[in-house]
Structure 1
Amino acid sequence: MLEKFLDYIRIEKRYSVHTITSYQKDLEDFASFVLETEATADLRGVNKKVIRNFIVQLSENKLSKRSINRKLSSLRGFYVYLLRIGEITVSPMESISSLKFYAEKQQAFSQDEMTMLQEKTENKSAMSLLEKLIIETLYQTGMRKAELCNLLFENVDFSKSEFKIIGKGNKQRVVPISERLHRDLQNYAEVRRPDEENKTYFFVNKKGKKLGERFVYSVVNKYLSLVTTKEKRSPHILRHSFATHVLNNGAEISKVKKILGHSSLASTQVYTEANIEELKKVFNKAHPRALKK
């Protein structure tokens, strides 16, 4: 039944490889739990009590509320599918709510920090072109880590200076490439040496294999540690920094929404918080009612 569901979201829903992998991991974790606690491999007979016990175990294993909610979302999708094909008549997820939590506020890197990073990487002869491009592509395009790893060679259009990115839900968007990034990408395209199995991917490692997300994270973390003491030094923070900086410099939020691949404007508005904080500082320094006497 699980394989049929994965085929459904791959073929009919056209979910990305990354999303399908997440669904598979979440559902396999749940299936293992059900087998261990209920002594059955049949997920159709699961009730709400089993779901709640699963949540308790995940919490006891110190899984974050965000990660637990993702697993619950996967289970909802699976049981909706079982309802749809008539395998069950009532979903055990019917009255199961997502856990409430306050999202940790992401702290973007400053433009000075990013300039400092650029200067350090340009003067660092040991830094490979690939490592430099990982950081610059993420920061200059707001691309997600998985999107960078899955970027196809055919979707890098040098004639138009743009990427075609396949994001969440298999949605496509077009993102412009700066002149400087365009030049570095062309240089990389001439020296990349993919093996036969991975030649469709634009970015490949020294062995010619498709980039792994763990490798991308390690590269970003390593070089950002040169310019900041902030604890969060992930590819996602580069995406956050991209959005914050272009909005600070006058970009229209609707345009930024398209570049980031957000489905709703509310997701993009998160990045305007930094603008509001800057506005407060300006107000407190300049407005006559705010000036201290």
Structure 2
Amino acid sequence: MSQIRHKRTFLDLFENSRPVLKVKFDTNSTAESTEVEIENKLEKNIDAKELRNLEKLCINPNLKEFFNFYTKCNGFTLGTPVLPENAQKRPLLSQLPANYLIKFTELYLPKGKLAWTIDLNKTKTLYRGENKWLAFAQVDDGPACLTIFLEGEYAGNIFLVNPQPHFNTLKPIAKTFDDFLDRVAKDPAAFFKLTRAYVTIVERNDQNFGYVPVEYIDNGGILFPEKGEKISLENIRTERDKVEEYNEKRNKWWRFWKN
């Protein structure tokens, strides 16, 4: 009897020790795909101090899913190449730890180092209004990133910031944070392609080439068998129990967002 394949969940992405991405330099080519073994990591060390500050930002009910994620884990990395050796070892998608969210967002605010990624295209009308937002995940090596709005009609919606938009960036890529996680889990390769997160491979002439993900394979094969260790959000300690132990101090990073 063949195995029944269940719908992949976001946590399933972290259960295999070595998933595989099939990538192509030219997606229209009939040439065989290059297989790249990757690592996905879920950060389980919760930052109780920053969790309290984040809670003060996530007062809109539509931010509940986003905040609850940080009560159980502190970000993740997806798609970090391991093999071949000439693939650059950087993740294709990184959700930032709670203690770096504000500093990362400030890069995209007016006069920030990466403000140009917003101000030089039509996304300026979305991000330079009165509603506050967070940049919470870096795509590839940047400057592309994912954002979530903290208030207004788009509260809880996930958007993609891209300096050279190839689709309507004024439309959210997910209506809720959980929808975003589901979309990534359903087809990681398609999400990487959508956000233009490409595997960079250095050829013999030291030139870098971006390879487009075309297929995601959960099982890395016999060379890298599964460790058998299951990661479950329910088993990760809930850090909110520790929050009451924290003697709150004013934090310079979130004061901008409170006012």
The structure with more strand, counted as a fraction of residues: 2
TM-score (norm 2): 0.24
Task: Tell me: higher relative CO, structure 1 or 2? Use CA pairs within 8 A at least 6 residues apart.
Answer: 2
The structure with more radius of gyration = 1
Give the TM-score taking structure 1 as reference length. 0.22
Q: Which is helix-richer, 1 or 2?
A: 1
